[in-house]
A = this chain, B = another copy of it.
Amino acid sequence: MSLDDRKLEVLRAIVEDYVKTREPVGSKALVERHQLGVSSATVRNDMAVLEEEGYIRQPHTSAGRVPTDLGYRLFVDRLTRVKPLSPAERRAIERFMIGVVDLDDVVHRTVRLLAQLTRQVAVVQYPSLSKSAVRHLELVPISTTRLMLVMITDTGRVEQRLVELPAPLPEGEVWELRRRVNEKLAGQKLADTPPLVQILVDECAPERRGSMICLATVLLETLVERSEERLALAGTANLTRGGVLDFQGTLRPVLEALEEEVILLKLIGDLEPSTTRVRIGDENEIDNLRSASVVSTGYGPGATIVGGLGVLGPTRMDYPGTIATVRAVARYVGDLLAQN
């Protein structure tokens, strides 16, 4: 049996009221607060159906109804109109971003902004290296057997690593290495670099082969392995809004999950499609987050995506508002990066 329009409308009303009041909502209260044009008895029948189908449930017999994860899912998929941002929010976004000085600054401000606007936990991934391009590679001699490798990308990110050389290397050789490396790699997308690094080693004159191999090893690590590591987090205090009730007893599992960068990256990082993604309760693969929802999206200059951002909160969350805010912030950050 499919759900007719009125039943959907009832579900919407339940979700909205429950999100607002955090209390199970009963049929009587529903007809009072929303203009459904039918009596409470009718609503009760609809509710019985919705419950049978798994969209809502009763905490106890003869209490009001509460949406299930499935109910929120339906709500998000079919009942959510994009809610335009309030002018105040727009202003907040614009104001927040004036006077940024560097990439770190952008990321930190963004994550705070997102946390503040959504009143939830915000996560922002640093622009991922693998999707950006090398702007410049710098080699700085630290001692005769040590180099500092500094990589600058077109997203403004800087990575540095120490290179231990097998044998002392004269200053002139360092210059030569720098020249060759930049010639080959500057301007390339990071994802395309590994074969080029191999070529560099192959082409290398035997007498500096040893140094080049060491350098290549570190280069590959820098270019590929450490590529998606960093992220910023803000708004953990928002988890405590509404007591501990929203997270079935304890914040513990949630806080634990938030400490694992790997987990967070999984949450906001899978950004194949450029659409906004909503994961509700049990849909999360991570057990610790079964009682939470995550709204995430990708961002980047223009149409390309170089990183993810998102927010995490209780399943009982204002989805339309949150989705709108996440999208708006992502778009704004993308524009900001494009200007660079």
Contacts and interface: CB of A to CB of B under 8 A. Distances in A.
Contact of A152 (B148, B235, B239, B258): B148
Contact of A244 (B162, B244, B256): B244
Number of copies: 2
A239 B136 CA distance: 44
A19 interface: no
Interface residues of A, number: 31
Contacts of A150: 138, 140, 150, 158, 160
A171 interface: no
A1 interface: no
Contacts of A251: 237, 240, 251
A255 interface: yes
Interface in A64-114: 101-102
A135 to B, nearest CB: 7
A148 B158 contact: yes
A235 B259 contact: yes
Nearest to A252: B240
A250 interface: yes
A336 to B, nearest CB: 14
B138 A140 contact: yes
A246 to B, nearest CB: 13
A142 B152 contact: yes
Contacts of A227: none
Contacts of A209: none
A234 B255 contact: no
Interface of A: 101-102, 135-136, 138, 140-142, 148, 150, 152, 156, 158, 160-162, 234-237, 239-240, 243-244, 250-252, 255-256, 258-259
